[in-house]
Amino acid sequence: AAGPLRAAVLKRGLRIIGLGLVLHALAWWLMHKPEFRVMGVLQRIGICFVVAGWAVIELRWRGRLLLLLSLLLGYGALLHVGPTLDKLGSLNQRLDTALLGRFAYEWNPASGVAFDPEGLL
């Protein structure tokens, strides 16, 4: 019975992501903005929905606890070894610049630096 549930979770997550992209495209078109933000709030909610749905379907409570602790400790460790926690120069900002580029929330074409308040990390 997990097969149809997996498909339903994935389908709903993709719908949420698609809705976020459509809303951003509509705002981009109507407001004549030069940038298009790929990773908006709804897109992140859709990704989290799929990951959380997978964890609930596939993992027992100990596995979920281990996943939670791994994510929290891993994120903390990545921030700790990063050069700074400032807006510019942080590991989040470097990852956003490398992966999102001009599709980030803030993009400076002169310096080539991107920033997203939520960040990919």
pLDDT, one tens digit per residue, over 36-79 is 778 889 999 999 999 999 999 999 999 999 999 999 999 999 88
pLDDT, one tens digit per residue, over 76-119 is 998 888 788 887 878 888 888 898 888 888 888 888 888 888 77
DSSP the chain: -HHHHHHHHHHHHHHHHHHHHHHHHHHHHHHT-S---SS-HHHHHHHHHHHHHHHHHH--HHHHHHHHHHHHHHHHHHHHHSS-SSTTTSHHHHHHHHHTGGGSSEEETTTTEEE-SS---
User: pTM here?
Assistant: 0.82
Please tell me the total count of domains within the chain. 1
Structural domain span for residue 42: 2-58
pLDDT, one tens digit per residue, over 7-37 is 999 999 999 999 999 998 998 888 887 777 7
52 in a structural domain: yes
104 in a structural domain: no
50 in a structural domain: yes
14 in a structural domain: yes
> Which pLDDT belongs to residue 27?
86
